[in-house]
Structure 1
Amino acid sequence: MEINKSYTVNEAQKKLEHYCAYQERCHKEVRQKLRDMNMIPEAIDVIMVHLIQENFLNEERFAKAFVSGKFRIKKWGKNRLLRELKFRGISKYSIDSALQEIDLDDYYNTLDALVQKRMEQVKEPNVYKKKKKVVDYLLYRGWESALVYEKLGEYF
């Protein structure tokens, strides 16, 4: 993007329509993009309202797409998903609704696969150190500690 280029409200609106159509965006990302384009607060509000009314911007749809993608591709647990969505300023209702979309069987199977894979990767002769490394890995990825310890109980 060129430095200090100025946009009319219509130009900025068209640019942001493409930005939102390309992939789901949260309100925070779009506001930041408009600020980066040096738009005044009044223009930002007008464009945001337009994007929401025309359904280019939908918080609940963003939350569902985000949760689905990060769970399937990065294998994040619910704690990490929750934290990331809160950071993006998503409402509690949208977060809860998105997390409900995760199939519980898929969730447990994914955790099982992650534990098995990590157990094979960690080359540590000391059982306690190995267990700690696996636990740390899963907690970092946002898996609930009760589930992690229950799953690891099956191995140790």
Structure 2
Amino acid sequence: MNTHKDKPLILDKKTALLKAESWCAYQERSQQEVRNKLYEYGLHQNEVEDLISELIITNFINEERFAMAYVSGKVNIKKWGRIKIKQGLKLKKVPDKLIQKALNSIDGDKYLANLLATAEKKLRVLNEKEPVKRKYKLITYLQSKGFENDLIFDVLKANNLTV
């Protein structure tokens, strides 16, 4: 039985452009995400690059706007740290200069409040009784959320969360 996933969707350039515009209008996308989507439509490299250029000119794709939206969402909704956000943007092939600019837009107080709230929330659900293991599990969790080691230790110490 053939399903839709079995065969690639083959579109002409004009149809692919319309679908890509609609897809980009729905949510901010990186160039790489759009490029991958266009290849899924069965387009060739030169057609894909032409459409990417067209989407940039018509402002459907804006890498800086994407990076800012990505950072904002990950900080405010997912409560991620800078390290994890930076890795996510690198996976989307956003240029380092734009990654840095977007990371610099993070509000420092909000970021520290996220770190503290994440630590307190995790502490409430940790079952470990032994203080050293409990602290290790908390720190490991905060690192996995992408927070920097020095900030983790500073926030834990300043709020007496080290035990």
Q: With structure 2 as the length reference, what TM-score do the two structures score?
A: 0.91
Report the residue type matching 1:110 in the other structure: N
Q: Partners of 1:66 and 1:7 in 2: how far apart?
A: 29
Displacement of 1:45 after TM fit?
1.1
1:46-97 per-position Cα deviation (integer Å, ceiling 9, x unaligned) = 1010000000001000000001001111110000001110111101111111
1:20 partnered with 2:24: yes
Unaligned stretches of 5+ in structure 1?
A: none
Displacement of 1:152 after TM fit?
2.1
Q: Partners of 1:108 and 1:88 in 2: how far apart?
A: 26
RMSD: 1.3
In the other structure, the counterpart of 2:38 is 34
1:139 partnered with 2:151: no
Q: With structure 1 as the length reference, what TM-score do the two structures score?
A: 0.95
Give the conservation status (yes or no) of the 8 Å contact 2:128–2:134.
yes
Unaligned stretches of 5+ in structure 2?
A: none
Report the residue type matching 1:102 in the other structure: I
SS in 2 for 1:123: coil
Q: How does 1:7-156 map to 2 (within 5 A)?
A: 7-153=11-157, 154-156=160-162
Q: Partners of 1:4 and 1:148 in 2: how far apart?
A: 46
Displacement of 1:118 after TM fit?
1.3
1:118-153 per-position Cα deviation (integer Å, ceiling 9, x unaligned) = 111112110000001100100000000111112222
Report the residue type matching 1:100 in the other structure: N
Give the conservation status (yes or no) of the 8 Å contact 2:21–2:60.
yes
Give the conservation status (yes or no) of the 8 Å contact 2:8–2:40.
no
Displacement of 1:5 after TM fit?
4.0
**Sequence identity of aligned pairs in percent?**
36
Q: Partners of 2:77 and 2:9 in 1: how far apart?
A: 37
Matched positions, count: 156
SS in 1 for 2:106: coil
